[in-house]
Structure 1
Amino acid sequence: MQRICLFPGTFDPVTFGHTDVIDRAIDLFDELIIGIGVNAGKQPMYSVEQRVAWIKEIYKDQPKIKVASYEGLTVNFCKKVNAQFILRGIRYVSDFEYEKAIADMNRMMDDSIETIFLTCSPRYSTVASTLVRDVIRNGGDASQFVPEPVLKTIRNA
């Protein structure tokens, strides 16, 4: 049986924090699906299409990486793509408490899907999309926070 994992998030924008977790998870699974969750209640800075394009560009040479967008419950999307695992990145203890609550809810909805937590590398522990968006909105240099495809988009905006 193939080990298929979903890494859900908004990825608005994709940061080195995200790619750090993805890069370290690749060897753990046969397929890693980057799932861009669409939340009708949130207004993202970048379109879903843009975020999908970034991930496809960043991982164009990595056949194990797939990308898709989805709406609704993450466990339902896992069933749709046959993912037995959900990957979540942890930066701080507070992240773990929040993520564990979500993992527990997901387990109560479907106990066949296991959540895997990976801590991010210390150098990326402060890189959060929310903070990166503030840097971008205020004309700051985001080059130390985002991969080249994202940087190109920002510079061309």
Structure 2
Amino acid sequence: MRIAVYAGTFDPVTNGHLDVIHRSVRLFDKVIVAVARDNYKNTLFTLEERVDLIRAVLDGDDHVEIELFQGLLIDYCKKKKASTIIRGLRVVSDFEYEMQMALMNKKLHPDIETTFLMTDQKYSFLSSKIIKQVAQFGGCVKGLVPEEVSLALAKKFGIRQQD
């Protein structure tokens, strides 16, 4: 069985993330969406909220599992018997950091590959950070995040949902 891990903070999950997940499922037998416990970002959503949002939008996909992980991603991949780490790329500037991480992971465990997937160009400008900034000031994020996320953002910021 070909198992891949797609890890991140997913604060919140965007349609760009979902694009990478859905395309990964076509390449691998199982994709584990691994939500990082340890991160150096100030998150808007709690760990539980992030996991719940991902579960809500991916419910029913038998090829996707959602789990928490902590520590080194490469150790988590070994534990899960994953052969591949999936990394989404939006723009060229993402590549430098992602390449460094891929090379370090290769050094730590040579048998685990990193596969880079470019997100669909319609999501290439998206980041969770931008989504949060727009939502915080009442901007419309429709079509950029799943409806469940849009509602959760509005609730978090105490903003009435716009059409």
TM over 0.5: yes
1:121 Cα deviation from its structure 2 partner: 0.6
Letter matched to residue 99 of structure 2: K
Inter-partner Cα distance in structure 2 for 1:11 and 1:26: 18
Does the residue aligned with 1:28 lie in a helix, a strand or coil? coil
Matched-pair identity in %: 38
Code of the aligned partner of 1:136: A
CA drift at 1:69 = 1.2
Mapping for residues 1-80 of structure 1, pairs under 5 Å: 2-80=1-79
- Whole-angstrom CA distance in 2 between matches of 1:17 and 1:54: 15
Higher RCO (CA 8 Å, separation ≥ 6 residues): 1
Deviations 1:66-93 (A, max 9, x none): 0111111100111121111100001111
Name the amino acid aligned to 2:14: T
RMSD (CA atoms): 1.2
Greater shift after overlay, 44-53 or 130-139? Answer: 130-139
How far is 1:59 from its partner?
1.2
Q: Deviations over 1:95-139 (max 9, x none)?
A: 111101100000000011100000011100001111111112222
Kindly provide the amino acid, as one letter, of the partner of residue 49 in structure 1: E
Shift of 1:40: 5.0
Cα distance in 1 for residues equivalent to 2:129 and 2:83: 29
Q: Tell me, in whole angstroms, the C-alpha distance in 2 between the residues paired with 1:94 and 1:40.
A: 21
Q: TM-score, normalised by structure 2?
A: 0.91
Mapping of 1:109-124 within 5 angstroms?
A: 109-124=108-123
Displacement of 1:145: 1.5
Unmatched runs of 5 consecutive residues or more in structure 2: 157-163
Give the partner amino acid of 1:69.
L
Q: Structure 1 residues 41 and 123, CA, compared in 2 at 3 Å: closer, same or farther?
A: closer
Report the count of equivalent residues.
Answer: 156
Partner of 2:160: none
- Per the normalisation by structure 1, the TM-score is 0.94
> Can you give the 5+ residue segments of structure 1 that lack an aligned partner in the other structure?
none
CA contact (8 A) 2:132 2:153 kept: no
Query: How many Å apart are 1:43 and its aligned residue?
Result: 2.3
> CA separation in 2, counterparts of 1:41 and 1:153?
22
